[in-house]
Amino acid sequence: MRVTQVIYPKDLGFILLLSDVGPGSRVIEGGVGTGFMTAVLAKYVGGEGRVYAYELNKDYIEIAHRNLKVVGLDSRVTFRNKDIREEVEDSNIDSAILDIPDPWNALNSLIKALRPSATVLSFLPTINQVEKLVVHAQATKAFTDVKAYEILLREFEVKKDAVRPKSRMVGHTGYVVFMRFLKA
């Protein structure tokens, strides 16, 4: 079941690559929605890793848990019905992925949970949110390598002697902000 917007595969793949999430990783996800990103993260952390999924909406947690159960990944995820902007109870985290409207408000609680050199990525729909997050992250002086990206994907129509871009493309879906944690 899906009640929220999922992050498109073009953005999701880029987020995974930058996050350096792999077998054994400990990952925080802020904003679970229906569990699409949660399932992908759970797959990549493997049986030895863990995803700590923070979500305020209990209905979303139930839907995400049900969806994860269907694909057999529910045992790799711990759901927390908490506001990631106020409290993170986990520690020694390798990466945090945020899909919330105001991720700058989660940075202070994340700082206590992240291990040195951990990655933090955020998916945002507007450039105003990107600016606010980047400025806030730089002001904390706890993060380095702060960058913002937009991924555009265009398929080509290939025929003999007639190669051209398809008329439709997956254009703007959102922005990805990356940063690496230095220290508190």
The set of residues, in sequence order, having a beta carbon less than 8 Å from that of 145 and lying 6+ positions away, is 178, 179, 180
Give the chain's domain count. 1
156 falls within a domain: yes
18 falls within a domain: yes
pLDDT tens sequence across 19-72: 999 999 999 999 999 999 999 999 999 999 999 999 999 999 999 999 999 999
1 falls within a domain: no
- Please give the structure tokens belonging to residue 64: 């995400």
2 falls within a domain: no
Q: Which residues pair with 144 in a beta bridge?
A: 180
- Please give the structure tokens belonging to residue 166: 């398809």
pLDDT tens sequence across 74-90: 999 999 999 999 999 99
The CATH number of residue 56's host domain is: 3.40.50.150
Give me the domain span that covers residue 27.
Answer: 9-181
